[in-house]
């Protein structure tokens, strides 16, 4: 029977239960990715204190005046770094070019923390994927907190990609050389308390799928949260469980698997009008993206006899660049 709600999976057995634990974990993850494209994970070994300090430092940044936040304004639509104010993005455009309502959130974006080979980072195909991060001066604890969090999420994503490989009937290391110079991004999203009624069709984040290999999300349990569209076409809430992360696959993983795994539509809905100040919500969103030159084509184990690949081969970098540009409402302007 197809999963119609988001399952909770303890991935701790991957480390602790030997070969059987790895196989069982991979099988559970494989089912979730085939049926609904989302899962909630426990047993990940990420310290709660790291998540809390990242939230605290980020909250201080978003509480600054707009003029101060705009000192690190995103420099151009194709450079995913810095601050993007309210109204800068409409993620629904990645699936529907006619979508016009901008999303009701503001973000701070950082990319790779640790240096890679300069020749690789500056090659023409690299584009802006290794652009310098724009670090705010205030609060001073933000940069070290986000750097620690980025590295922890990178390590967790590598583990998840190894679990993915086993679930797809591949060698555990299949993705290792495709993600060792990843172009992942950490986006801190602030959804302000809604004091005015949204425009028709406007959501905190419109219905979209993610672009890369996988996303790791820490989200606050506040009014106006994340929903996923299941195989029956129903929007269901994603559970927020203390100490757990939400994980979903993105479009690149769907392309790799010839849609055997689903990159599922999801959205962040508006809170009830009576929620008031309690509806402010923050998310720590780690978008794991393979190396920019990683080839993305149908994995042989995902091609059934008589089937043909649904997608033309591409690279991680070209795919991501196209979608980054598609979702910009306008180039962000200072307020």
CA–CA dist 67, 63 (Å, integer): 11
CA–CA dist 292, 297 (Å, integer): 14
Mean pLDDT by 10 residues, the chain (335 residues): 90 88 96 97 96 98 97 91 90 72 93 95 93 97 98 98 97 96 97 90 91 96 93 95 96 96 95 88 97 94 90 90 61 34
CA–CA dist 295, 256 (Å, integer): 9
β strands within 222-311, DSSP E: 226-229, 235-237, 245-249, 266-268, 281-288, 295-296
pLDDT at 325: 59
Q: How far is CA 75 from the centre of its chain?
A: 21
pLDDT at 89: 82
pLDDT at 333: 33
Q: Are the C-beta atoms of residues 130 and 110 closer than 8 Å to each other?
A: no
For residue 150, with 0-12 CB atoms within 10 Å meaning exposed, 13-18 middle and 19 or more buried, which class applies? buried
pLDDT at 1: 73
pLDDT at 98: 67
8-326, which class in CATH? mainly beta
pLDDT at 327: 56
pLDDT at 334: 31
What is each CA distance from 46 to 12, 41, 215, 230, in whole angstroms?
11, 11, 16, 28
Place of tokens 């406007």: 202
What are 233's two structure tokens? 């076409």
CA torsion, ordered 86, 91, 92, 97, to nearest 10 deg: 100
List the strands of the sheet with 226-229, edge to edge.
205-208, 266-268, 226-229, 235-237
**In the chain, what are the domain boundaries?**
8-326
């Amino acid at each position: 029977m197809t999963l119609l709600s988001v399952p909770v999976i303890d991935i701790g057995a991957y480390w602790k239960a030997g070969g059987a634990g790895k196989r069982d974990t991979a099988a559970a993850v494989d089912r979730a990715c085939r049926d609904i494209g989302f899962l909630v994970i426990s047993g990940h070994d990420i310290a709660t204190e790291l998540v809390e300090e990242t939230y605290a430092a980020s909250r201080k940044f978003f509480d600054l005046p707009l003029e101060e936040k705009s000192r690190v304004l995103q420099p151009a639509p194709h450079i995913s770094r810095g601050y993007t104010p309210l109204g800068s993005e409409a993620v629904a455009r990645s699936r529907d070019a006619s979508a016009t309502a901008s999303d009701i959130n503001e973000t701070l974006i950082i990319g790779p923390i640790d240096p890679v080979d300069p020749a690789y980072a500056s090659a023409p195909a690299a584009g802006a994927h290794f652009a310098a991060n724009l670090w705010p001066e205030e609060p001073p604890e933000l940069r070290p907190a986000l750097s620690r969090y980025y590295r922890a999420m990178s390590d967790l994503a590598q583990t998840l990609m190894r679990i993915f490989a086993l679930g797809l009937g591949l060698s555990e290391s299949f993705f290792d050389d495709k993600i060792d110079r990843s172009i992942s991004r950490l986006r801190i999203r602030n959804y302000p308390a809604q004091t005015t009624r949204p425009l028709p069709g406007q959501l905190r984040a419109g219905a979209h799928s993610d672009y890369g290999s996988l996303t790791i999300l820490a989200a606050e349990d506040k009014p106006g949260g994340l929903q996923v569209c299941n195989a029956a076409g129903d929007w269901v809430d994603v559970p927020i469980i203390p100490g757990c992360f939400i994980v979903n696959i993105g479009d690149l993983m769907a392309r790799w698997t010839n849609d055997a795994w689903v990159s599922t539509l999801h959205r962040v809905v508006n809170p009830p009008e009576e929620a008031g100040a309690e509806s402010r919500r923050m998310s720590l969103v780690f978008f794991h993206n393979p190396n920019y030159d990683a080839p993305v084509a149908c994995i042989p184990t995902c091609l059934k006899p008589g089937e043909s690949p649904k997608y033309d081969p591409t690279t991680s970098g070209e795919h991501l660049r196209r979608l980054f540009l598609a979702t910009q409402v306008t180039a962000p302007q200072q307020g």
